[in-house]
Structure 1
């Protein structure tokens, strides 16, 4: 029996449900006859506390490796925590029987370099799964361009070294795949598999947790982090424009699902503009799906210069069957929206442009519903894990 070690720092809880890309993949591979161990952190990045022990409900082996933890996403303590976890995983691998394959999530970086060097040393096939671009993702935090380039350049070289170690690159977008492949000096190949979601699980939650909406209201929804990359203020400004123009006669409610360091700032801004908004905080995945699918329109407002590509929320938006208003610069996602005609692309940071898109979708139910149907087609073709992850499983089966 071939053995596979999957290394992924940012896994969620292990309570018997199968959530997240790496646990889902681990269970798929275990069900195909592979001996699979998923190595992850004992610290929850999202909840900022240590996880409860995994329940005994999985075919794959779940191994926690200790991480010191941190309270702020933007901090030296976080860098230290990830570095220490990578070192601890390196020690664990050195005491472990040599596997046939190592499948490693990126980020974080230290663990990927440790695992890649271990794989090279022991002639183990090393497959990288690029979830985000570090250090590029931190670019918006450092405003001064010269200082940003100076501070992040060493990390970029570090990331390049990691990408060079891959025998195969998987990535959650073509953009990320191309970045990793750009420094390849060997015969590595690449594959883009979007994060996606399980359509059956999604549709079940949609029915179970549906929320009744008052008559005469249109709900505009955002899900995800309330952090530095996301331009929630642009949407609030757009809603203010719509309100002042008075072309839309119904009430528009802005539903914000998620949490992050700028939640209080965004809440105060919505109150200042007197926008009808609700900040729900973090919800369970199932309840998030129910509320999302009870809405009418979704928004994907990302700041200029952000490194995000095809994010988690994009798959949820597509499966929701709702039209999307998008300000993200990433050409890959903009092209998907145009190709499937499932939403409206707006200029990044342009609240007037977003306001026009909101008015168009609110005032034209036929267009809104047609774009929603196209979103669902996109989901079935590109974001249903039951289909798309087969391409990853085939790598090991062949």
Structure 2
């Protein structure tokens, strides 16, 4: 039985918040007949606290879990987080030196230094190394800290580590074509690569809808425009609030804006919403199954980003498409804007323009047929391209190819 390590600092374990990509992948590869170690942090990124490892070890998983000691941090982007990841990288290196007899290492990037520790170990021991590129550091961090010269100096170690990781890859999986191709930007390598969207499990999504839809109360005349995800610097919730205010003032009190999720700007934006007239409700964090029901009960979903946001095809897209609703997209990613247009499940607009957003909402509000057609196309794309039990076979195929070599 071949032994695989999956290294990720951000994964949802039982009864936690967070992303499930690597949890699903660990189970998926176990079902394929591999012996899988999920190597993750002692620190839970979304809760911003240390995990109860003794409790987790009493729980049942089909794969083995190994924990990297990490001190933790309080903010998503600050020097404390960079220091915390540096310590985690050192501890990962020590862990692998003690027991790293793997046939392949599959590692998330970022964090760049953690991925580098895994990549360098793999190189020293002639182990195939696959990078799962699901964000770009330091590019994304410049959204928060973008000071000429100073940011370049501050982020140069992150860029250096990223380039080293990319140079050591045996294979690449990207959560978008842009991310898949990033490791080849500075030089062509003849290694396998593929795009596998973060996606979701449609069966789990649909079960969540069925179980929770009756608990999500909505009056018959209400029309919901919904955002689900992080409330942070990259995400343009402010424009949604201003658009809601514009709609209310211009005679559309039946149009409601629903914001699901949490983040560093939540309180500030709640204050803004309360100072205006729009029908804006901050739902807060909802368990996945209940979030699915909210998306399903909504009329329009907004993939809302600021102009400078570097994100491409993000985690929430699979859930938006699964809901079978039309999407308004303000993300600037050329790849995703092309996909929205060619697949026909939504409308691209420029970010940070409240009037344009309000008018686009009205365009869809008044056109029931267009909403229905876009919604049907969205669900079809979810089934064909984002359903993990099917789409993650690409990862398994790439791994099998590298292990055989």
Q: Give your verdict on TM over 0.5.
A: yes
TM-score by length of 2: 0.94
Q: Secondary structure at the match of 1:209?
A: helix
The total of aligned residue pairs comes to 396
Q: Secondary structure at the match of 1:191?
A: strand
Which residue of structure 2 lines up, in the alignment, with residue 324 of structure 1?
A: 327
Which residue of structure 1 lines up, in the alignment, with residue 220 of structure 2?
A: 215
Q: Work out whether 1:301 is the aligned partner of 2:297.
A: no
Q: Equivalents in 2 of 1:362, 1:75: separation in Å?
A: 41
Q: Work out whether 1:292 is the aligned partner of 2:327.
A: no
Within-5 A mapping of 1:11-30:
11-15=11-15, 20-30=20-30
Aligned partner (choices 316, 322, 327) of residue 313 of structure 1: 316
Cα shift readout 1:323-367 (whole Å, capped 9, x = no counterpart): 111111001111111112111110121222211110011122221
Which residue of structure 2 lines up, in the alignment, with residue 228 of structure 1?
A: 233
Alignment check: 8 A CA contact 1:16 1:57 kept: no
Alignment check: 8 A CA contact 1:18 1:24 kept: no
Structure 2: gaps spanning 5 or more residues? none
Which residue of structure 2 lines up, in the alignment, with residue 105 of structure 1?
A: 108
Alignment check: 8 A CA contact 2:246 2:278 kept: no
Q: Equivalents in 2 of 1:61, 1:15: separation in Å?
A: 17
- Relative distance call for 1:52 and 1:154 in structure 2 (3 A) is closer
Q: Work out whether 1:348 is the aligned partner of 2:351.
A: yes
Q: Work out whether 1:268 is the aligned partner of 2:271.
A: yes
> What is the deviation of 1:185?
5.4
Structure 1: gaps spanning 5 or more residues? none
Which residue of structure 1 lines up, in the alignment, with residue 242 of structure 2?
A: 237
Q: Secondary structure at the match of 1:382?
A: helix
What is the aligned-residue RMSD (CA, Å)?
Answer: 1.8
Which residue of structure 1 lines up, in the alignment, with residue 47 of structure 2?
A: 47
Aligned partner (choices 119, 122, 145) of residue 122 of structure 2: 119
Which residue of structure 2 lines up, in the alignment, with residue 148 of structure 1?
A: 151
Q: Equivalents in 2 of 1:17, 1:84: separation in Å?
A: 23
Alignment check: 8 A CA contact 2:9 2:111 kept: yes
> What is the deviation of 1:376?
0.5
Which residue of structure 1 lines up, in the alignment, with residue 6 of structure 2?
A: 6
Alignment check: 8 A CA contact 2:247 2:278 kept: no
Q: Equivalents in 2 of 1:184, 1:15: separation in Å?
A: 42
Q: Secondary structure at the match of 2:371?
A: helix
